[in-house]
Structure 1
Amino acid sequence: MRYLMLFAIPLLSACSFSFMQYDNLPVVNATYSDHATKASVMAAGGKPDSQINLGGNGSCLNYTLRNGSESMPFYVAFDGSGKRIHYGYITCQAAQQKGILK
């Protein structure tokens, strides 16, 4: 049992580092900005794969990030005024199912 942590830490670290390969993409950089808006994210990332409407006039954009042969989903959610409120390496639908977006 005491050796479990020796195996768990590298596995958890590998998961977190897998996201880092996408951090230099323009859409991700635009999303990380403190003043990110729907307009600034779309200017950097282009047309999203899809968009869903959220309650209160908000919206959520789905992008597929690509790095070589690998890809990963990425969502960015905005409030009714277009300010970024949430983002992550899952889809808008998955964020809704997890209760992140309401």
Structure 2
Amino acid sequence: MALDTIIQTEKNLLLDELQEKSNNWIEFLEQLDEKTLNADLTYKRVSGQELTLPYAATLTHVFNHGTHHRGQITAAMTGLGYVCPELDLVYMLVEQSQA
């Protein structure tokens, strides 16, 4: 799929899909055990190169990489004059503690 592919044009359906995908991550993380997290993960890059890396650190990279891209999107939107929502985790934590 091309990076500029529009996967959903209706905002509410897109939000539902995003929530479903988030729930998939939660279910995945809940089933992980300490043995798996302390093991190595072997995978192939798109180029075909095989890598073996620490599982937990690689998983951390996946989440951190998503944060990186959200930052890029925010920077682009701000540069175009849009007001973006606050994405810093600390703001979410403050909001949740006040609820």
In our comparison, the structure showing a higher alpha carbon Rg is 2
Q: Which has the higher strand share?
A: 1
Q: Do both share a fold (TM > 0.5)? A: no
Which has the higher relative contact order, 1 or 2, with Cα contacts under 8 A spaced 6 or more apart?
1
Q: Which has the higher helix share?
A: 2
